[in-house]
Amino acid sequence: MQDMNLTGLFIDLMGRLGLNYEFLATGYEAQIWRDGFITTLYLVAVTIPVSLIVGLIFAACLTSGRLWLSAPVRGFVELTRNTPTLVQLMFSFLVLNTVVSNMLGGAQNNPLSPFFWVVAVVGLHVAALHAEAIRGGIEAVPSSMIEAARGMGFSQFEILRYVQIPLAFRASLPAIVNGLISLVKSTTVGNAIAVSEITYASIMVWTQRDNVVELMIVLLAFFSLINFVVARVGSWVERRLAIPGYGL
């Protein structure tokens, strides 16, 4: 009840400013909108780790010196970097998803949801950006340091794991944070395949209520807030990982 009163107060206050948030008092549209926020947050929370883990794996493949690992990843990175995410999403959902459905004997057997495809497409797209940044960092580790590690008995993978990636991750952190900020914004492509994230939900509401400006204000504030948090966490990690006496 407290909640209802607060909502009522908010609607009333905004009404005086000429902003129409009356739909918040309704059950159905308010619910859609709230779910939209949650879906977007959920998308962001799942896609960020996916992009980081895959980005790391991609970078490892690109720098492995093994053609059968690096060539496919290089091809994928170029493709995803140079084509619109929206097109990739539509291709994945309309073509790949259909292929999967056919293979499993019908859409009813296909466990892959539109949500999955947004995570996959946006996650891999940003992973490609991360991979390029991390690859730069891996290649910047001096060859003499790698030889010293080899001389001690480290395997190529152990050098990657204990030396190159820790250094490359630090060096590429600013680029990674930029990638994550664009990831947050890119989750909105989900509305093209009816994932009810916040832009999709907002469109549903404002076509009924004709309150585009009101919803836009919240929408912009919402994304700004998420990315503010991403940037702050990024600089916190950067400070945590800073190496005393090292020029990074």
Binding footprint of other proteins on the chain (CB under 8 A): 142, 144-145, 147-156, 158, 162-163, 166-167, 170, 241, 243-247
Specify the DSSP element, H or E, that contains 15: helix 2-16
Under 8 Å between Cβ of 24 and 30: yes
CB of 61 to other proteins, least distance (A): 19
Comparing CA positions, the residue from 123, 127, 120 lying closest to residue 59 is 127
CB of 3 to other proteins, least distance (A): 49
Closer CB to other proteins, 5 or 143, in the complex: 143
CA 155 remoteness from chain centre: 33
3-state DSSP percent of the chain in helix, strand and coil, to 5: 85, 0, 15
Closer CB to other proteins, 104 or 242, in the complex: 242
Closer CB to other proteins, 34 or 150, in the complex: 150
Closer CB to other proteins, 225 or 243, in the complex: 243
CB of 156 to other proteins, least distance (A): 8
Token pair 């630090």 is at which residue?
170
Phi then psi dihedrals of residue 65, to 5 deg: 75, 5
Token pair 């977007």 is at which residue?
40
CB of 245 to other proteins, least distance (A): 3
CA pair distance 62, 43, nearest whole angstrom: 27
CB of 49 to other proteins, least distance (A): 22
Closer CB to other proteins, 68 or 106, in the complex: 68
Closer CB to other proteins, 220 or 241, in the complex: 241
CB of 160 to other proteins, least distance (A): 13
CA 53 remoteness from chain centre: 12
Under 8 Å between Cβ of 114 and 193: yes
Closer CB to other proteins, 129 or 167, in the complex: 167
Q: 32 Cβ partners below 8 Å, 6+ apart?
A: 196, 201, 204, 205
CB of 74 to other proteins, least distance (A): 24
